[in-house]
């Protein structure tokens, strides 16, 4: 099977459409090369029409406005431009993302997914939104009406605010504060409030159960998240997200490689923070209907569903920024606009999240809590100790950075493998859990779903 047809099947596109897609990509690449040539020539660097970094254009705008008006105007205008950019991207993601997710999940399950509304089913999310808006909104009889109304809006606050300090390019950070990491932790923990408010105000046993579980789980996984980011701060010596990306760019090393334990801990714990499979026990539909948003209907339920996607994408952006080099791509960012690099990395992390959702079953609540407190927190604490020693050696050792850094990278990867292979606890209980039964997920090297679909197709 050629790579081309494999790609075509993964995207469920015919050869003609695939060719059109390839042509469009080639055209974009060619345009980029032309722009890159001009840039390398040095004519574009730092000017306002340098599209690789929209920060230049905003800086020019600010200077022009400051020349004719009081500084308050330029402040508000640039702030609104930034907010418009963030919300525009978020809106696009919310519309496109639900199509992407359903389409990918369908491919994982050898289905086709939504393909009726519009070309390739692209208008499906729009149709869904329109449908949800027309639905009757029911308020349960015993509900606390004020508290019931707030959560659908309040759940958006952390997901939007967390976009603030994410650097899109060297000069393209909306909220370039020097306590960025703390800000992200503080803002993301706000989500607990909204979800508990939703579960409590509904006056429904299932909703309350879901909310209690959510709070217990999010609160527990908050600690590994903070500890993982602590080791990032230890190495880079800054809490500013743009500086963290700059560190990775200067050292030509992604922190995800240097700190694999922190990376994996952060990634897994964050899936609990945003209630995604395999950690979506808060809305285990086989046990507690839909958890905290059982009683929500119409557009309010739609907002809860939409923000799950928004959370996944902002998690992708944070993982990309902290651990995967952010906008930097080993020098290629002078050719490709850095914000596209960040978007691509975000999309890659999001793909992994969808992949996990399509592959893994849901953990039980006691397994999840045990995993956080008895495994992730101890190894995170140990990891902080190891990284602190390494950071001290790094500043005191009189050697070029590449020697200690590569040594530490290898050491930390070995430690991460050891943690995963030898220290991982067996999931307790379960119907067929005996000693010796293997619970470890098996990583297959072939595209199992594609092979299976081929067999189905070739069968008489």
Partner 1 sequence: MIPEQYGRAGVLLLFAILFPALPLVLSHLLYRLRIRPDRPDPVKSAAYECGVEAEGSSWGRFNARYYLFAIGFVIFDVEVIFLYPWAAAHAELALDSLAVLWKAALFIGVLAFGLAYAWRRRALEWR
Which residues from 187-216 bind partner 1, rule CB under 8 A? 200, 202-208, 212, 215-216
Other Cβ atoms less than 10 A from the Cβ of 393: the count is 13
Q: Within 13 Å of residue 187, how many CA atoms lie on the same side as its CB?
A: 20
DSSP character at residue 282? G
Helical (H) or strand (E) element with 124 = helix 124-134
List the helix and strand counts (H, then E) for the chain.
21, 0
Contact letters for partner 1, residues 305-344 (x by CB under 8 A): --x-------------------------------------
Contact 18, 25 (CB under 8 A): no
CB of residue 23 to partner 1, shortest distance in Å:
36
3-state SS, residue 116: coil
Tokens of 408: 């530490």
Other Cβ atoms less than 10 A from the Cβ of 71: the count is 10
Q: Which is nearer to partner 1, 156 or 329 (CB)?
A: 156
Distance CA 136, CA 153 (A): 18
Candidate list 18, 127, 305, 391; residue touching partner 1; CB under 8 A: 391
Contact 284, 362 (CB under 8 A): yes
The footprint of partner 1 on residues 85-114 (CB under 8 A) is 86-87, 90-91
Candidate list 157, 193, 413, 450; residue touching partner 1; CB under 8 A: 157
Candidate list 15, 46, 378, 425; residue touching partner 1; CB under 8 A: 378
Candidate list 160, 193, 340, 356; residue touching partner 1; CB under 8 A: 160
Does residue 253 touch partner 1 according to CB under 8 A? no
Does residue 182 touch partner 1 according to CB under 8 A? yes
DSSP 223-265: HHHHHHHHHHHHHH----HHHHHHHHHHHT--HHHH-HHHHHH
CB of residue 255 to partner 1, shortest distance in Å:
14
The interface region with partner 1, picked from 24-32, 272-280, 355-363, 391-399 by CB under 8 A, is 391-399
Does residue 273 touch partner 1 according to CB under 8 A? no
DSSP character at residue 442? P
The interface region with partner 1, picked from 43-51, 62-70, 151-159, 415-423 by CB under 8 A, is 151-159
Q: Which is nearer to partner 1, 104 or 209 (CB)?
A: 209
Terminal-residue alpha carbon distance, the chain: 20
Does residue 73 touch partner 1 according to CB under 8 A? no
Candidate list 49, 70, 119, 141; residue touching partner 1; CB under 8 A: 141
Does residue 226 touch partner 1 according to CB under 8 A? yes
Q: Which is nearer to partner 1, 241 or 329 (CB)?
A: 241
CB of residue 87 to partner 1, shortest distance in Å:
6
The interface region with partner 1, picked from 27-35, 176-184, 333-341, 355-363 by CB under 8 A, is 176-184
Report helix angle 402-422 to 377-396, nearest 10. Answer: 170
CB of residue 71 to partner 1, shortest distance in Å:
9
Tokens of 374: 């008895």
């Amino acid at each position: 099977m050629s790579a081309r047809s494999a790609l075509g099947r993964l995207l469920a596109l015919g050869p003609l459409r695939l060719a059109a897609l390839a042509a469009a990509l080639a055209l974009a690449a060619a345009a980029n090369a032309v722009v890159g040539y001009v840039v390398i020539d040095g004519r574009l660097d730092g000017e306002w029409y340098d599209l690789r970094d929209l920060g230049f254009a905003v800086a020019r705008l600010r200077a022009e406005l400051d020349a004719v008006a009081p500084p308050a105007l330029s402040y508000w205008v640039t702030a609104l431009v930034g907010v418009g950019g963030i919300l525009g991207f978020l809106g696009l993601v919310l519309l496109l993302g639900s199509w992407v997710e359903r389409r990918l999940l369908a491919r994982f399950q050898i289905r086709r997914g939504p393909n009726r509304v519009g070309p390739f089913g692209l208008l499906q999310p729009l149709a869904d939104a329109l449908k949800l808006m027309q639905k009757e909104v029911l308020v349960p009889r015993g509900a606390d009406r004020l508290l019931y109304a707030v959560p659908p809006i309040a759940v958006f606050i952390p997901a939007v605010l967390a976009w603030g300090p994410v650097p899109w390019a060297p000069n393209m950070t909306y909220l370039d504060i020097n306590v960025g990491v703390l800000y992200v932790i503080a803002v993301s923990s706000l989500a607990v409030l909204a979800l508990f408010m939703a579960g409590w105000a509904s006056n429904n046993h299932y909703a309350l159960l879901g909310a209690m579980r959510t709070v217990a789980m999010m609160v527990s996984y908050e600690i590994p998240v903070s500890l993982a980011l602590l080791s990032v701060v230890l190495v880079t010596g800054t809490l500013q997200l743009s500086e963290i990306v700059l560190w990775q760019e200067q050292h030509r090393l992604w922190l995800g490689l240097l700190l694999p334990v922190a990376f994996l801990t952060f990634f897994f714990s964050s899936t609990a923070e945003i209630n995604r499979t395999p950690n979506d026990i808060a809305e285990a539909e086989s046990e507690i209907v839909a958890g905290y948003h059982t009683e929500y209907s119409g557009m309010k339920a739609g907002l809860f569903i939409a923000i799950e996607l928004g959370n996944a994408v902002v998690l992708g952006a944070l993982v990309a920024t902290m651990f995967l080099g952010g906008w930097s791509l080993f020098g290629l960012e002078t050719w490709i606009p850095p914000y596209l690099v960040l978007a691509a990395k975000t999309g890659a992390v999001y793909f992994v999240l969808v992949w996990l959702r399509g592959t893994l079953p849901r953990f039980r609540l006691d397994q999840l809590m045990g995993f956080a407190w008895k495994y992730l927190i101890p190894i995170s604490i140990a990891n902080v100790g190891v990284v602190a020693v390494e950071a001290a050696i790094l500043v005191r050792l009189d050697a070029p950075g590449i020697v200690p850094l590569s040594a530490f990278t290898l050491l930390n990867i070995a430690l991460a493998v050891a943690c995963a292979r030898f220290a991982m606890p067996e999931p307790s209980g379960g119907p067929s859990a005996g000693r010796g039964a293997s619970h470890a997920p098996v990583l297959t090297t072939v595209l199992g779903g594609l092979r299976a679909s081929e067999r189905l197709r070739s069968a008489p």
